[in-house]
Amino acid sequence: MEHRGLGLPALLALLAPCCCAAPGPTLWPMPLSVKTSPRLLVLSRENFSIYHDPSSTAGPSCSLLQEAFRRYYDYIFDFNKSQLGPAKRNSAVELKQLLVSVVLEPECDLYPSITSDESYTLAVEGPVAFLKANRVWGVLRGLETFSQLIYQDSYGTFTVNESNIIDSPRFPHRGILIDTARHFLPIKTILKTLDAMAFNKFNVLHWHIVDDQSFPYQSVAFPELSNKGSYSLSHVYTPNDVRTVIEYARLRGIRVIPEFDSPGHTQSWGKGQKNLLTPCYNGPKQSGTFGPINPILNSTYCFLSQFFKEVSTVFPDQFVHLGGDEVEFTCWESNPEVIAFMKKKGFGRDFQRLQSFYIQKLLGIVSTVNKGAIVWQEVFDDHAKLNPGTVVQVWKNEMYPVTQAAVTAAGFPVILSAPWYLDWISYGQDWRNYYKVDPLDFDGSQEQKKLVIGGEACLWGEYVDATNLTPRLWPRASAVGERLWSQQNIKDLEDAYDRLTIHRCRMARRGIAAEPLFTGYCNF
Amino acid sequence: LWVWPPGCSVLDEAFQRYRDLLFSSRSWQPPEPARKQHAPEKSSLVILVGTPGCNELPSLESGENYTLTINDDHCFLLSETVWGALRGLETFSQLVWRSPEGAFFINKTEIEDFPRFPHRGLLLDTSRHYLPLTSILDTLDVMAYNKFNVFHWHLVDDSSFPYDSFTFPELTRKGSYDPATHIYTAQDVKEVIEYARLRGIRVLAEFDTPGHTLSWGPGVPGLLTPCYSGSHPTGTFGPVNPILNTTYEFMSAFFLEVSSVFPDFYLHLGGDEVDFTCWKSNPDIQAFMKKQGFGNDFKQLESFYIQTLLSIVSAYDKGYVVWQEVFDNKVKVRPDTIIQVWREETPVHYTKEMELITRAGFRALLSAPWYLNHITYGPDWSEIYMVEPLDFKGESGELCLRTRGGWAGWLISPCFFVSSCRRGVQAQPLNVGYCEQEFEET
């Protein structure tokens, strides 16, 4: 029996008369190709294990895989519902092993990147199932899918259908933005989020770490930044905390891209770094308030050089997010020295040129430390000269397909966030709106469309902290996850609803407080 | 040290609770041997209660007044009832603060307090989603921190029937999401009622009929109205069937049980959103309507059902609360009926509705502007706060938290924000900022 792409409607219809809790395989996000047969295999905790295939290029020395095997073993068998009897079904073949084989150089001790190969194939048949991938990243994705294939029947027996899966993501950049400046997020919350991301095959944590309200990042070169800029000394991410997050993410195939947003959104930087921000003027006198980073001083760029040098060593990802959004020009306009500088440079009254001047210098600094840059769309909109390869993140909702077209026409890669601002909550099933978005739905050539590298669901922190982050992110972000991983034709909302309700219960079972989609219950 | 009239369970439990909240090691480091403050040390809070009533249940008429006097000479909490003492203890716990060195302080204070409204409630919906007992108990804790005194338990509805009935066990077996795991046993219900009582909270149980009853159907065949398409039953069902004697026999027996299980004087009988389409389609009902002379006015049939139900429940010496449709559809109800206003604009604006109800001499509960499940982006707590329940004649208010498909967020006043964080309440932030001690998931 063969079912492709769109799912297992006939099979599920047999097993799942209602929307919730019927046992059966439920995959999220939907893989590229799924073939299932009605032939069932059984597994038991005592008799099943995950091993390296002898032909694999990776082995027990690969701690990333060892950790993953242990983790997924627990996810598969650590259900609340205890097995009521011995594995029944004398006729059913037992699945004894999952053999994992990495084909190419595993990249076990490397960090994931935008070019990481996440593809895998899964052949589940008794008594040995095979998971094959080019790199460890594919193994991680495949393990998640394998764990989703297994379910408990009404006797509590762990069951899996014979299946054949070929899978790889549609977009290579599938991210979640968290904001730890508007509210400090305890490390535990961040790690929980990484777990949930792995369940949904997200692979980028966009860490919007500092902003106007607070500066929790503890800099070794500039300790006063967090000493003076954090909400309190206990609301700080030490270098150890940061390392913990990065490694926890790496073990799940997730990149950590930090965002140090400037020149706007920097009020908290001024507390610990004197003369960094532009002093605003009220007529001829300083008003005592401050604006964006002061772009006219050499000391600014000296500071930024040192700061981003540190950032580039602390965060191993190839890319850094530089922000560049919502720069308020009023303070610059009020400052006579800035005005004089503008005149000298021939910028006239066009503050976009001053902004671009700043950004371009910052981009230069960042490329000196061998990092790529991601910026918010204003940087592009306001005509800064960007190095090729600079990624533009599209976040403004008005006519965002037009923005996508413009950015890709100019040859820059795009990350789409505009329709996926998850902090904008409303009553009802808004996940459907997120699911319906198609990131390639804009006027452009094939070449242009190739420049859309993916998207990010953003959870800005004005109204979010550890008390409500998880239910607010999940399962709404899961809708975005499938849209970015699965093929374009996977868009049936009813099938998505059926699978997502079960996937949500699975996340809840694994300790993620994902909120319900609608009325119903979880079968545990 | 606490001094109290010994042997009063409500107060004994409360002292233990507040002692832990204030002084437990959960978040505090022991104070350093601080430099001597020039503050006199208070060693005890003396509580004086007029009429104990420790083993009683709180009621709508319960007094909750108290006075709190903290000065050089005295440190006491005075109240007429234990319920007032509970409110006073909560206030006392909010007055105590800690210096950065860790010493506990309280300012000289004089407080005289009593509630503006006697019914201050929270509705939880355990039918659309089963809520584990712990989350109900946690909710009761937070209600106490906020001086709520009524837990409106919307136990059953269309989606599921988790109430474990001993008279009609099939109701639960066939109607719950999962009769092994998603039910409230008699023991669970007892636990909720007692847990609430110890916090001065009444449990107002709602068994909503004749609409919102789909989950009752599987366990009581013949209870719900079979819908018709032309002359054939479609296989689907509508509201409770109002024309059969068996319906009222069932309701008699069922509400006898409910009246004994839930000790509060009031029961909530629902009566909202009755869809007439199914009744209209049923030929037996059409015949009944003709016989009764109701014509085509199904509101009269609804009234007929409700009035019969009300007299059944009155016979068990219970008072009742109903949703506003019962009043809007001109059902004849007893003068001491309480009407709950939940609709914002229909049939009239809720302020007008409150006026109509109170003018007709009934007591009203306000919920319409307080549907917390209607989430939106931003600090919506301020709109909720700005509602003035007495923009017309009214009596008390109740916050509705129908947890349909969503996380139930907790509302707190700005001043209360900090201490909520500390007590491990998962209260979401009002705006940017921080808590000294952030909530951590366990």
Task: Please give, one letter per residue, the 3-state secondary structure of chain B.
Answer: CEECCCCCHHHHHHHHHHHHHHHCCCCCCCCCCCCCCCCCCCCCEEEEECCCCCCCCCCCCCCCCEEEEECCCCEEEEECCHHHHHHHHHHHHHHCEECCCCCEECCCEEEEECCCCCCEEEEEECCCCCCCHHHHHHHHHHHHHCCCCEEEEECCCCCCCCECCCCCHHHHHHHCCCCCCCCECHHHHHHHHHHHHCCCCEEEEEEEECCCCHHHCCCCCCCEEEEEECCEEEEEEEEECCCCHHHHHHHHHHHHHHHHHCCCCEEEEECCCCCCHHHHHCHHHHHHHHHHCCCCCHHHHHHHHHHHHHHHHHHCCCEEEEEHHHHHCCCCCCCCCEEEECCCCCCCCHHHHHHHHHHCCCEEEECHHHECCCCECCCCHHHHHHCCCCCCCCCEEEEECCCCCCCCCCCCCHHHHHHHHHCCCCCCCCCCCCCCCCCCCC
Out of A121-125, B27-31, B48-52, pick the least confident.
Answer: B27-31
Nearest by CB to B407, from A183, A468, A524: name it.
A468
Query: Among candidates B410, B132, B136, B133, which has minimal Cα distance to A521?
Result: B132
State the count of interchain CB pairs (< 8 A) between A and B.
101
Section B280-288 average pLDDT:
96
**CA gap B13, B38 in Å, rounded:** 33
Mutation choice for B interface testing from A235, A521, A523, A524 by most B CBs within 10 A: A521
Ramachandran quadrant class, A253 (left: phi over 0; alpha: psi -120 to 50; beta: rest): left
Section A108-112 average pLDDT:
98
Residue B395 lies in a domain: no
B376 with A214: Cβ contact below 8 A: no
**CA gap B64, B144 in Å, rounded:** 13
- Identify the helix (H) or strand (E) that includes residue A292: strand A285-293
Q: Are A322 and A356 in contact (CB under 8 A)?
A: no
Residue B405 lies in a domain: no
- What local confidence, expressed as pLDDT, does residue B409 receive? 30
- What local confidence, expressed as pLDDT, does residue B389 receive? 86
Give B202's strand partners: B150
Higher pLDDT: A50 or B391? It is: A50
Query: Residue A68, Cα to own-chain centre: how many angstroms?
Result: 19
DSSP labels for A251-273? Answer: TTT-EEEEEEEESSS-TTHHHHS
- Work out the burial of residue A104: count CB atoms within 10 Å of its CB; fewer than 13 is exposed, 13-18 middle, 19 or more buried: exposed
Q: Are A319 and A360 in contact (CB under 8 A)?
A: no
Section B15-25 average pLDDT:
84
Type of residue at A338: V
Residue located via tokens 């506990």: B104
A423 with B434: Cβ contact below 8 A: no
pLDDT level of residue B23 (50, 70, 90 thresholds): confident
Section B268-279 average pLDDT:
96
Residues of A contacting chain B (CB within 8 angstroms) = 21, 182-184, 186, 188-189, 192, 213-214, 231-232, 234-235, 423-429, 461-468, 470-472, 513, 515-521, 523-524
Q: Are A494 and A477 in contact (CB under 8 A)?
A: no
Residue located via tokens 């004649």: B393
- What local confidence, expressed as pLDDT, does residue B421 receive? 54
Number of domains in chain B: 2
Which of B51, B81, B114 is the C-terminal boundary of a domain?
B114
3-state class (DSSP) for residue A46: coil
Which residues of chain A does B402 touch, with a Cβ-Cβ cutoff of 8 Å? Answer: none
Radius of gyration, CA atoms only, chain B: 24
Shortest CA gap B431–chain A (Å): 5
Which residues of chain B does A516 touch, with a Cβ-Cβ cutoff of 8 Å? Answer: 129, 405-406
Nearest CA in chain A to B373: A427
Q: Are A442 and A472 in contact (CB under 8 A)?
A: no
Query: Among candidates A496, A507, A475, A523, which has minimal Cα distance to A21?
Result: A523
Residue B181 lies in a domain: yes
Q: What is the residue-averaged pLDDT of chain A?
A: 93
Is the per-residue pLDDT at B412 higher than 60? Answer: no
Which of B65, B82, B114 is the C-terminal boundary of a domain?
B114
Shortest CA gap A27–chain B (Å): 22
Residue B227 lies in a domain: yes
Shortest CA gap A477–chain B (Å): 15
Is the per-residue pLDDT at A372 higher than 60? Answer: yes
Same domain? B19 vs B90: yes
Which residues of chain B does A464 touch, with a Cβ-Cβ cutoff of 8 Å? Answer: 428-429
Is the per-residue pLDDT at A492 higher than 70? Answer: yes
Nearest CA in chain A to B379: A463
Q: Are B157 and B208 in contact (CB under 8 A)?
A: yes
Out of A418-432, A494-508, B85-99, B425-439, pick the least confident.
Answer: B425-439
Q: CA–CA distance from A352 to each of A181, A289, B51, B363 (Å)?
A: 26, 22, 74, 63
Nearest by CB to B377, from A426, A461, A470: name it.
A426
DSSP labels for A212-248? Answer: SS---B--SS-THHHHHHSSSTTS-B-HHHHHHHHHH
Residue B175 lies in a domain: yes
Same domain? B80 vs B222: no
Instruction: Express each pLDDT in A57-78 by its tens digit.
Output: 999 999 999 999 999 999 999 7
Same domain? B293 vs B316: yes
Shortest CA gap A470–chain B (Å): 10
Mutation choice for A interface testing from B432, B436, B437, B440 by most A CBs within 10 A: B432
Nearest by CB to A515, from B407, B430, B436: name it.
B407
Q: Are A162 and A37 in contact (CB under 8 A)?
A: yes
Instruction: Express each pLDDT in B314-335 by its tens digit.
Output: 999 999 999 999 999 988 888 8
- What local confidence, expressed as pLDDT, does residue B401 receive? 29
Which residues of chain B does A461 touch, with a Cβ-Cβ cutoff of 8 Å? Answer: 432
3-state class (DSSP) for residue A485: helix
Which of B289, B312, B334 is the C-terminal boundary of a domain?
B334
Which domain does B288 fall in, by range? 119-334
Same domain? B159 vs B225: yes
Q: Are A119 and A133 in contact (CB under 8 A)?
A: yes
Same domain? B97 vs B175: no
Instruction: Express each pLDDT in A321-331 by its tens digit.
Output: 999 999 999 99
Question: In this structure, what are the phi and psi dihedrals at residue B135, rounded to the nearest 5 degrees?
Answer: -70, -30
3-state class (DSSP) for residue A108: coil
Residue B430 lies in a domain: no
pTM: 0.90
3-state class (DSSP) for residue A382: coil
Look up the CATH number of the domain holding residue B18. Answer: 3.30.379.10
**CA gap A231, A215 in Å, rounded:** 8
Complex-level ipTM: 0.84
Ramachandran quadrant class, B200 (left: phi over 0; alpha: psi -120 to 50; beta: rest): left
Is the per-residue pLDDT at A17 higher than 50? Answer: no
Nearest CA in chain B to A214: B433
- What local confidence, expressed as pLDDT, does residue B38 receive? 55
Q: Are A122 and A164 in contact (CB under 8 A)?
A: yes
- What local confidence, expressed as pLDDT, does residue B404 receive? 24
Same domain? B135 vs B66: no
Is the per-residue pLDDT at A201 higher than 80? Answer: yes
Residue located via tokens 């930024």: A304
| DSSP letter, residue A70 | H
Instruction: Express each pLDDT in A229-240 by its tens digit.
Output: 999 999 999 999
**CA gap A131, A72 in Å, rounded:** 13
Q: CA–CA distance from A247 to each of A176, A401, B60 (Å)?
A: 17, 36, 57
DSSP count for chain A of H helices, then E strands:
18, 18
Same domain? B13 vs B95: yes
Same domain? B109 vs B131: no
A516 with B405: Cβ contact below 8 A: yes
Shortest CA gap B302–chain A (Å): 27
Which residues of chain A does B422 touch, with a Cβ-Cβ cutoff of 8 Å? Answer: none
pLDDT level of residue B430 (50, 70, 90 thresholds): confident
Type of residue at B288: F
Question: In this structure, what are the phi and psi dihedrals at residue A145, rounded to the nearest 5 degrees?
Answer: -60, -45
- What local confidence, expressed as pLDDT, does residue B397 receive? 46
Same domain? B248 vs B226: yes
A465 with B409: Cβ contact below 8 A: no
Same domain? B145 vs B257: yes
Q: What is the residue-averaged pLDDT of chain B?
A: 86
- Work out the burial of residue B39: count CB atoms within 10 Å of its CB; fewer than 13 is exposed, 13-18 middle, 19 or more buried: exposed
Same domain? B157 vs B210: yes
Residue B153 lies in a domain: yes
Look up the CATH number of the domain holding residue B202. Answer: 3.20.20.80
- What local confidence, expressed as pLDDT, does residue A21 receive? 47
Q: Are B149 and B197 in contact (CB under 8 A)?
A: no
A467 with B439: Cβ contact below 8 A: yes
- What local confidence, expressed as pLDDT, does residue A288 receive? 96
pLDDT level of residue A10 (50, 70, 90 thresholds): very low
pLDDT level of residue A351 (50, 70, 90 thresholds): very high
Is the per-residue pLDDT at A91 higher than 90? Answer: no
Residue located via tokens 């990010």: A456
B431 with A463: Cβ contact below 8 A: yes
Residues of B with catalytic annotation? 273
Which residues of chain A does B429 touch, with a Cβ-Cβ cutoff of 8 Å? Answer: 183, 463-465, 467-468
Shortest CA gap B358–chain A (Å): 31
Same domain? B73 vs B133: no
Section B384-390 average pLDDT:
88
Residue B202 lies in a domain: yes
Which residues of chain B does A235 touch, with a Cβ-Cβ cutoff of 8 Å? Answer: 434, 438
